[in-house]
Structure 1
Amino acid sequence: MKKPKSIFLLKEEFLSVVYSESAIAEICDITENDGRVHTAEEILKNPEYYQDVEIIFSGWNAPVLNAELLHALPSLKAFFYGAGTVRYFVTDAFWERNIRLTSAYTANAIPVAEYTMASIVFALKRAWTKNYALRQGRIDHASQEVSGVYTGSRVGIISLGAIGRLICQRLSQFELDVVAYDPFASESLFQELSVRRVPTLEALFSGCDVVSLHAPKLPETEGMITGELLQLMPRNATFINTSRGAIVDENALVRVLKNRPDIFAVLDVITDETAYCTTPLLTLPNVFLTPHIAGSAGRECHRLGDMAREECHRYLAGEPALVPVTPDNIVRMA
């Protein structure tokens, strides 16, 4: 049986970042693929070559799939995206074609969950605060101010998307009280994760030793985490943000951290990511700041390409997608 024709359509520099040599070789084996990166400009300039392209493998910096580009790809039936958000390239014209679309965002959730898990453990041990004391020439023996990774310590998760679910699953190995806030999650999901639902953000912030933010950045979530919520945190609590900076009122966060030196913040994201070296957050002793490294990096990125490859296998076998993206479920995706 003739193999379906496929192409790689992403920025040239990202091909080897997202797709390992073995993944590229396998894709070239199961489909008719020349192993090189194609561009939207090439497709529009030489449409006859792309008339029979059925499958596209993509990744970061995919082109916008507008009507003109789709017209040059009349046989396109599946688009496997080896990265997270698809919002910047899907269009109404794309949805009208009923093309199968998948994302590797659940694969990208793994390193974010791992970063968060490490941060939660360090937070409950107050590791950063103790380290800061040492650098100031003090040994802080105040163990009574350490929550500890044990019964009685409470961790709050905001949003039970792919990352939030992974974290809850991994926290189940510890003797901790885990609660979550997600007004869109079903009761069955809370039961499946063995997590208690908290009805309001106020209740979550006021009752947790650690609060970890994983909500998607949507118009309705921008500025959702206010200074009033942060001020509710118990003494020596920690706030973690590996989501997006704009979900937090950053000016209020700075004010609260200055007024409440007992509170600690672990931040991998800020509102203006060109200002990591100049943000006032960097000057505060109760902040641990990293430059958006929680997501896939280095070899971890190959998970994304591996997932696109697996989605292709499922497509060719007539099986449902692992992570389908549809007009209905994209509404709540980051």
Structure 2
Amino acid sequence: MNKQKLLIALTEDEKKDFLPPKVLEKLEALPLEIEWLALPLESTEEWPGILADKKPDALMAAWACPRLPDDLAVGEGGLQYVSYLAGSIRKLVPRELLVQGLQVTNWGNSISRTISECALLLTLSAMRRASYWSVAMHRDGGWKQGLQTVTQSLFERRVGIHGFGNIAQQMVPLFKPFGVEISAFSPSVPDAIFEELGVARCNSLEALFSQNDVIIELAAYHERNHHIVTEDLLRSIPSGGAFINIGRGAVVDEAAMIRVAKDRPDDLQFALDVYEKEPLAQDSPLRGLSNVALLPHIAGPTKDRRCDSTLIALENLARLAEGKAIEAAITPEQFDRAT
């Protein structure tokens, strides 16, 4: 029986991040015929011919890989599986190929713990106003002003989470040591998951925002959730609170958030990793606000943890070699919901 052929199309930098020596060793131990393709190509016009010539059963790729041809043969006798080591597959895989049976996975839940880690970082940064003091001390020679300087602690606070998917669920154990009370608004998540993690179910967004000191935004983005976080909700966060967004920028009415941030510079903190339009405009009013901490959408996999994504790929490549179905393959419906 012939081995399944795997084509790995990565740049040198991608290879270093996604396939460090220990992970590469595991890959090379799989019963696969492996062929390497160094990216970037001199011309993307070469790409269809390369695929036709090499006829891989599986493809491992990341950000630099050219888009797959719309008329690519997939399934039995063609390309069966694409392990996309990054996030959204929209720029790589035409939807029609999924419909025709191409199995595709991305980094999936492998990034949940690093995003959760960043949520904790941003929460602590907001409560302690770390972003403000870092700039003030470096640029302005700033120093605290006795009792007039106010910072907050996370210990024994009330934390509300909007959205309770895998990232939020992995975040709970990171926050528990602070003795916080955690509640979440996510109508579609079963009660059993709330009970297992010791999280209270909140029955409305109004209650979530008004009854918690820290709000962490993690709701999925779709048409119904566009600007679901309104000015009224943001204004209802209690004094001394914080709003953290590591989910999707367009879930929040950004113009309204800017108004609230300007109106409450001393008693409400914001810490953001995502924005309605990215990259964040140079002249965005969010820049320069003393109560707003900003990160450039880096909550996802850190450089040293990108290899976590490859471990998912290795499990599925082993399944492919054994003639088993791929796990966590992206469906056309999931493709449509992706941003």
Structures share a fold, TM > 0.5? yes
Q: Counterpart of 2:38 in structure 1: which amino acid?
A: V
Aligned to 1:91: 94
Match of 1:280 among 274, 279, 285: 285
Match of 2:103 among 100, 104, 128: 100
- Quick one: structure 1 residues 224 and 57, their matched pair in 2 at CA, closer, same or farther if it must change by over 3 Å? same
For the 8 Å contact 2:85–2:106, the answer to whether it is kept is yes
Question: What secondary structure sits across from 2:82 in the alignment?
Answer: strand
For the 8 Å contact 1:123–1:210, the answer to whether it is kept is no
For the 8 Å contact 2:161–2:183, the answer to whether it is kept is yes
- Quick one: structure 1 residues 90 and 138, their matched pair in 2 at CA, closer, same or farther if it must change by over 3 Å? same
Q: How far, CA to CA, are the matches of 1:217 and 1:210 in structure 2?
A: 21
Q: Calculate the TM-score normalised by the size of structure 2.
A: 0.84
For the 8 Å contact 2:95–2:332, the answer to whether it is kept is no
- Quick one: structure 1 residues 35 and 29, their matched pair in 2 at CA, closer, same or farther if it must change by over 3 Å? farther
Greater Cα offset, 66-75 or 238-247: 66-75
Question: What secondary structure sits across from 1:5 in the alignment?
Answer: strand
Aligned to 2:38: 37
Offset from partner CA, 1:20-66 (integer Å, 9 cap, x none): 24434543442211233376744422454233x21111222444445
CA deviation after TM superposition for structure 1 residue 144, in Å: 9.1
Match of 2:155 among 149, 152, 155: 149
CA deviation after TM superposition for structure 1 residue 270, in Å: 2.2
Aligned to 2:195: 191
For the 8 Å contact 1:7–1:34, the answer to whether it is kept is yes
Offset from partner CA, 1:84-126 (integer Å, 9 cap, x none): 2224444342223323322213112221110111223444556
Q: How far, CA to CA, are the matches of 2:186 and 2:241 in structure 1?
A: 21
Greater Cα offset, 128-137 or 287-296: 128-137
- Quick one: structure 1 residues 321 and 285, their matched pair in 2 at CA, closer, same or farther if it must change by over 3 Å? same
- Quick one: structure 1 residues 205 and 298, their matched pair in 2 at CA, closer, same or farther if it must change by over 3 Å? same
1:1-334 alignment to 2 at 5 Å?
A: 2-9=2-9, 13-30=13-30, 31-37=32-38, 41-51=45-55, 53-70=56-73, 74-124=77-127, 136-141=142-147, 146=152, 148-150=154-156, 153-261=157-265, 262-275=267-280, 277-317=282-322, 321=326, 323-330=328-335, 334=339
For the 8 Å contact 2:161–2:217, the answer to whether it is kept is yes
CA RMSD between the two structures: 3.1
Q: Calculate the TM-score normalised by the size of structure 1.
A: 0.85
CA deviation after TM superposition for structure 1 residue 206, in Å: 0.6
User: Where does structure 2 lack aligned partners over 5 or more consecutive residues?
Assistant: none
Q: How far, CA to CA, are the matches of 1:196 and 1:321 in structure 2?
A: 35
Q: How far, CA to CA, are the matches of 1:10 and 1:138 in structure 2?
A: 49
Greater Cα offset, 137-146 or 12-21: 137-146
- Quick one: structure 1 residues 267 and 163, their matched pair in 2 at CA, closer, same or farther if it must change by over 3 Å? same
- Quick one: structure 1 residues 145 and 72, their matched pair in 2 at CA, closer, same or farther if it must change by over 3 Å? closer
Q: Counterpart of 1:283 in structure 2: which amino acid?
A: G
Q: How far, CA to CA, are the matches of 1:129 and 1:235 in structure 2?
A: 18
Count, aligned residues: 331
Offset from partner CA, 1:173-228 (integer Å, 9 cap, x none): 44211011112212222222221111221111111111111123333322222211
CA deviation after TM superposition for structure 1 residue 319, in Å: 5.9
- Quick one: structure 1 residues 289 and 222, their matched pair in 2 at CA, closer, same or farther if it must change by over 3 Å? same
Q: Counterpart of 1:298 in structure 2: which amino acid?
A: K
- Quick one: structure 1 residues 142 and 3, their matched pair in 2 at CA, closer, same or farther if it must change by over 3 Å? farther
Q: Counterpart of 1:67 in structure 2: which amino acid?
A: D
For the 8 Å contact 2:226–2:250, the answer to whether it is kept is yes
CA deviation after TM superposition for structure 1 residue 143, in Å: 9.7
CA deviation after TM superposition for structure 1 residue 146, in Å: 3.3
For the 8 Å contact 1:158–1:182, the answer to whether it is kept is yes
Q: How far, CA to CA, are the matches of 1:298 and 1:163 in structure 2?
A: 19
Q: How far, CA to CA, are the matches of 1:242 and 1:221 in structure 2?
A: 15
Question: What secondary structure sits across from 2:247 in the alignment?
Answer: coil
For the 8 Å contact 1:121–1:149, the answer to whether it is kept is no
- Quick one: structure 1 residues 42 and 17, their matched pair in 2 at CA, closer, same or farther if it must change by over 3 Å? farther
